[in-house]
Amino acid sequence: MSDATAAELRAAGGPSAAGEPWASAGAQAALGLGAAGFRRVLVLGGTSEIATAIVRELATREPCEVALAARDPQRLGDVAQQLRAAGCARVQTLALEATDPDSHRAAIARGIELLGGACDLVLLAVGLLGERGGLPDDPRGAVEVLEVNVVGCGSLLLESARALRAQGRGTIVVLSSVAAERPRAANAVYCASKAGLDALAQGLADALAPTGVRVLVVRPGFVTTRMKRGLPVPPLSTDPEGVARATARGLRRGAHTVWAPSTLRWAMALLRLLPRPLFRRLPL
Ligand SMILES: NC(=O)c1ccc[n+]([C@@H]2O[C@H](COP(=O)([O-])OP(=O)(O)OC[C@H]3O[C@@H](n4cnc5c(N)ncnc54)[C@H](OP(=O)(O)O)[C@@H]3O)[C@@H](O)[C@H]2O)c1
């Protein structure tokens, strides 16, 4: 927590030191940080179509200030324009490279600085799909998926958690996937990467619960974004807006896990129980 924010909180009846339970509802309200408020949003993977839809959905309730972090400045500029047009009060951009963990602490600090020194919500949306199939033809590409989705996202999650714990509050949304729930032959590497990130997010959610920092794990199925362009659309697919509505609902009700669409929760519970020889025969 910045000194200024800590002082404001003390004045408003909030906690006296970082790591203490978050301020009373009155103190939060005094600072414009209502329990359900997600006004200042840092998006890691700021050009993600799903993350952009989540910000647009949140902005229908309150005017968000947004910091978008990703690699491509041109695409970041385009997304920033879209969000301004959607009513976001202030949208700024910064560079982020997921495969350079040494840069993550500074990037997150910069993102929070751009938001005025405090952050209500971190959206972790970085992700790579990679080659489809059980044994990839390109092992280097498979390693890149693991580097981005597990090592890179893992590092971004840990650094985000440290930053929010230091300010004494905040929420991290982790875009996991149904792929984390049961690995499929059609996409073994991506499934493994999402399972690793999902496990880290769940463990951290429990570890951080007493600190006032929340972690919400979002597990979408097939979402019609550029990541899946050209692939056949399976049953129970959704669009970025569907994931956004489910995420916003999950944030409001304090959920720890969200499925999008919600029916996937039950479908995956059944699939998890299927014995491997049967599971192998499914056209998944
Ligand atoms: N689409 C689906 O069906 C689906 C389903 C379940 C879960 N998800 C997950 O949801 C998240 C968002 O997916 P999406 O569909 O919105 O895909 P997307 O539009 O392709 O977004 C992916 C994001 O990851 C960023 N990224 C990739 N590699 C990076 C790197 N090395 N360094 C920094 N940023 C990097 C991209 O930034 P650049 O612009 O710099 O490339 C982009 O912002 C991902 O984690 C994905 O795995 C997607």
Ligand 1 center to 269 CA (angstroms)? 26
Which among 223, 228, 238, 243 is the best mutation to test ligand 1's pocket, defined by most ligand atoms within 8 Å of the CB?
223
Which residue do the tokens 């498979």 mark?
142
Listing DSSP states for 44-62 in one string gives ETTT-HHHHHHHHHHHTTS
Alpha-carbon distance values, 10 to 7, 45, 118 (Å)? 5, 34, 15
Distance, in Å, from the CA atom of 227 to the CA atom of 111, rounded to the nearest integer, reads: 25
- pTM for this entry: 0.89
Residue 66 confidence (pLDDT): 98
Instruction: Specify whether the CB–CB gap between 34 and 218 falls below 8 A.
Output: no
Distance, in Å, from the CA atom of 186 to the CA atom of 282, rounded to the nearest integer, reads: 11
List CB contacts of 22: < 8 A, sequence separation 6 or more.
14, 15, 28, 168, 169, 212
Distance, in Å, from the CA atom of 61 to the CA atom of 168, rounded to the nearest integer, reads: 24
Residue 159 confidence (pLDDT): 98
User: Domain for residue 58, yes or no?
Assistant: yes
Nearest CA to ligand 1 atom 22: 48
Task: Judge whether 237 counts as a catalytic residue.
Answer: no
Torsion, Cα 218 97 103 88, to 10 degrees, reads -60
Sheet hosting strand 213-220, strand order edge to edge? 90-95, 65-70, 40-44, 121-124, 170-175, 213-220, 257-260
Residue 134 confidence (pLDDT): 85
**CATH assignment at residue 226:** 3.40.50.720
Atom of ligand 1 nearest to the CA of 124: 45
Q: Which two tokens stand for residue 282?
A: 């499914």
Q: How many domains does the chain have?
A: 1
Ligand 1 center to 42 CA (angstroms)? 15
Nearest to 175 by CA among 151, 155, 157: 157
* Domain that includes residue 215, residue range: 36-274
User: Domain for residue 44, yes or no?
Assistant: yes
Identified catalytic residue from 190, 200, 205, 212: 190
User: Domain for residue 151, yes or no?
Assistant: yes
User: Domain for residue 26, yes or no?
Assistant: no
Nearest CA to ligand 1 atom 18: 48
CB 94 less than 6 A from any atom of ligand 1: no
Residue type, 115: L
Ligand 1 center to 46 CA (angstroms)? 9
User: Domain for residue 251, yes or no?
Assistant: yes
Instruction: Specify whether the CB–CB gap between 249 and 258 falls below 8 A.
Output: yes
For CA atoms 133, 136, 137, 138, give the dihedral sign.
positive
Torsion, Cα 92 145 148 218, to 10 degrees, reads 70
User: Domain for residue 259, yes or no?
Assistant: yes
Strand partners, 174: 124, 217
Nearest CA to ligand 1 atom 19: 48
User: Domain for residue 172, yes or no?
Assistant: yes
Residue 284 confidence (pLDDT): 80
Low-confidence ranges of the chain (pLDDT < 70): 1-36
List CB contacts of 58: < 8 A, sequence separation 6 or more.
38, 41, 64, 121, 248, 251
Nearest CA to ligand 1 atom 12: 125
Ligand 1 center to 125 CA (angstroms)? 6
Burial degree of 127 (CB within 10 A; 0-12, 13-18, 19+):
buried
Residue 4 confidence (pLDDT): 35
Atom of ligand 1 nearest to the CA of 96: 33
CB 182 less than 6 A from any atom of ligand 1: no
**pLDDT tens digits, residue range 110-122?**
999 999 999 999 9
Nearest CA to ligand 1 atom 30: 98
Length reported for the chain? 284
User: Domain for residue 21, yes or no?
Assistant: no
Residue 25 confidence (pLDDT): 39
**pLDDT tens digits, residue range 205-247?**
999 999 999 999 999 999 999 999 999 999 999 999 999 999 9
